Amino acid sequence: MYDRPLARLHPAAETTEAGGLKRRLLLAAAGLALTGGLAAVPANAQTETSPDDTVATRQHPEFDPPGIRMGGFILYPSVTLDEVFDSNIYATQGHDTSDLITVLQPKLELKSNWNVHQLNLHASGDIDWYAQHSRENYANYDIGADGRLEVYHDAWISGGADYSLWHLPRTSPNNIVGQADPTEYNQASANVVGHKEFGNLFVELGDSYNRYDFTNAQTFDGRAIMWERQNHDENEVSVRTGYTIQGLYELYVKGAYNTRNYDSTSDMSGFNRNSNGYTVLVGGKYNLTGITSIDLFAGYRSQDYDDVRLGTFSAPTGGAKITWNVTPLTTVTGEITRDIDETIVVGAAGYFATKETVAADHELLRNLILHLQLSHEADDFQNIGRTDDVYGVGLGAKYMMNQMTAINVRYNYQIRSSNGAGIGYADHNILVGLTLHL
C-alpha cells in the first residue's frame, strides 16, 4: 500500500512518496486499548542533532525497539496491521468506488554490529485484503541484502541486491483504465559503488541494474492485456568526482549513461521502446551540523529511442534537497527533482516528471511526532502534448507507546488534473495502524 519502487515502469525513486499512494485506514481497537494507563512523556530538547538526525529519524532510546542480539548481528522483527479507507480504489474520474482495506506488513531486518564493514539483510511483505472488491487483493514481498566493505581508511565499496514482487498502483500514469486486476511484476535489482579519496578529492564509480518482468492481465470484459511486452532491463553506469572542505562543503560533477533493453521490439501499442541516454550534473552540498543541510544539482538529461516515432528528447534536469532543523523539536524538509520516466502511453517517448515536496515533523511529546506534507508533480509527456498535475496533502501522527508498540494515524488527499480526457481523479485515504516490535 505504500509507494512501490516501480511507480512508473521504473524506480523513481521513490520513493518520494508521490507515486503509488495507495493508502489505508485502520481500525486498531485492540491497539487503542493498549494505551490505557500509559502516560504521555513530555518532549525533551535534543542536545545534539545533525541534518541526518532529524525529528522523524533521530533515536528515542526509551521507545526504539532494542532488537535481538545474534552474535555480531541484531535482528529487528516487526509487524504492522493497518485498516484503511480508500475513497477511490480505481483512481477513476467521476465513478469513485470506495472500500475498506486490511493491510498486514511483516518485516525482518538483520543488521551487523561490527566496528568495521557492514552487512544487512531484510525481508518484508505487504498483504492487502479489500472488504468488497477481492480482485484488488494482492501480496507483495521484498528480500535483499546490502553492505559496505572498508578497503582502507579512505576507500570503500558498497552494494546491494533485491528481489521483489510488486503491484503497480492504480494512481500510476501507466495504469490502464478498465483493467480488472492490479498489474503485477517482479523486480530484480543490484548496485555497487566504489569510493576513493585523495586528500580532499574523491572519486566514485557506480553501476546499477534493474530487471522487470510483468504478468499479463485482462480487462473487465475479458480482453487480454499483454503486459509481458513491457519486460525489460535497465542498466546505468556512473562516475562522480568532487572536492570536500572540512566536511562542511562538497562540490561535485557526475556523469551517467543508461541503457533500457526490452525483450520485445514491439510494446502493447506497437512501439519499440529500447533506448539509451545520459545525464550530466554539477552539484554542491552544504552541511551546517545540527541545523541545515543543502544538496543542489543541475545539468542536462537526454534519452534516445530506437523507434524513430519516439525519437530523442532532451532537456535541463536538476534538483535540490534542503533539511532544516528549525528547533530541536521541529524539522522542515524540502525536495525538488526533475527526471525522465518510462511510460506505456501510446505515442509518448516518456515524460519529464518534476516533483516538489515540502514536509514538517514536530515532536509534540517525546513519544508523539506530528507530520505534515504537501506535494506536487508535473508530468510532461513527450510527443503527444499531454500534461498532468498531481497535488497531494498528508497529515499524520506517530504515537510510540513503548519499545514494542506504536500507533500511526494518517490522512492523505491526492488529486490529478490532466488535459487528457478521463485521466483525472481525486482520492481520500484514512489510515489507522498498529506496529509491534520485538
Q: How does DSSP classify residue 268?
A: T
Q: CA–CA separation, 149 vs 193, rounded Å?
A: 11
Domain 68-437 has CATH 2.40.160: yes
Checking if the pLDDT of 17 tops 80, the result is no
Q: Which three cell numbers stand for residue 213?
A: 518482468
Q: Which three cell numbers stand for residue 242?
A: 568532487
Checking if the pLDDT of 245 tops 90, the result is no
Contact 406, 399 (CB under 8 A): yes
Contact 99, 89 (CB under 8 A): yes
- What is the DSSP secondary-structure string of 359-424? EEEEEEETTEEEEEEEEEEEEEETTT--EEEEEEEEEEEEEE-SSSEEEEEEEEEEEEEESSTT--
Mean pLDDT score, 331-357: 90
Burial of 94 (0-12, 13-18, 19+ CB in 10 A): exposed
Q: Are strands 68-70 and 405-418 parallel, antiparallel or unpaired?
A: unpaired
Q: For cell 488529486, name the residue.
A: 415
Contact 273, 313 (CB under 8 A): no
| Residue 167: other Cβ atoms inside 10 A | 23
Checking if the pLDDT of 26 tops 70, the result is no
List C-alpha distances in Å: 385 to 19, 229, 300, 350, 377. 21, 25, 21, 11, 16
Instruction: Mention every residue, 6+ apart, whose C-beta is less than 8 A from residue 32.
Output: 407
Q: CA–CA separation, 354 vs 124, rounded Å?
A: 30
Q: CA–CA separation, 22 vs 139, rounded Å?
A: 14
pLDDT (0 to 100) of residue 51: 52
Q: CA–CA separation, 117 vs 203, rounded Å?
A: 20
pLDDT (0 to 100) of residue 423: 87
Instruction: Mention every residue, 6+ apart, whose C-beta is less than 8 A from residue 262.
Output: 229, 230, 231, 232, 272, 273, 274
Q: Which of 338, 351, 309, 411 is nearest to 172 (CA)?
A: 351
Q: CA–CA separation, 200 vs 246, rounded Å?
A: 8
Checking if the pLDDT of 328 tops 70, the result is yes
Q: Given pLDDT bands bounded at 50, 70 and 90, which one contains residue 4?
A: very low
Checking if the pLDDT of 36 tops 80, the result is no
Q: Kindly report, residue by residue over 125-150, the tens digit of the pLDDT.
A: 999 999 999 999 999 999 999 999 99
Q: Given pLDDT bands bounded at 50, 70 and 90, which one contains residue 389?
A: very high
Mean pLDDT score, 1-11: 42
Mean pLDDT score, 317-329: 92
| Residue 4: other Cβ atoms inside 10 A | 24
Mean pLDDT score, 387-392: 95
Outline where DSSP puts E strands in 67-132: 68-70, 73-86, 99-112, 118-130
Q: Kindly report, residue by residue over 77-95, the tens digit of the pLDDT.
A: 999 999 999 999 999 988 8
Max distance between CA atoms of the chain, in angstroms, equals 68
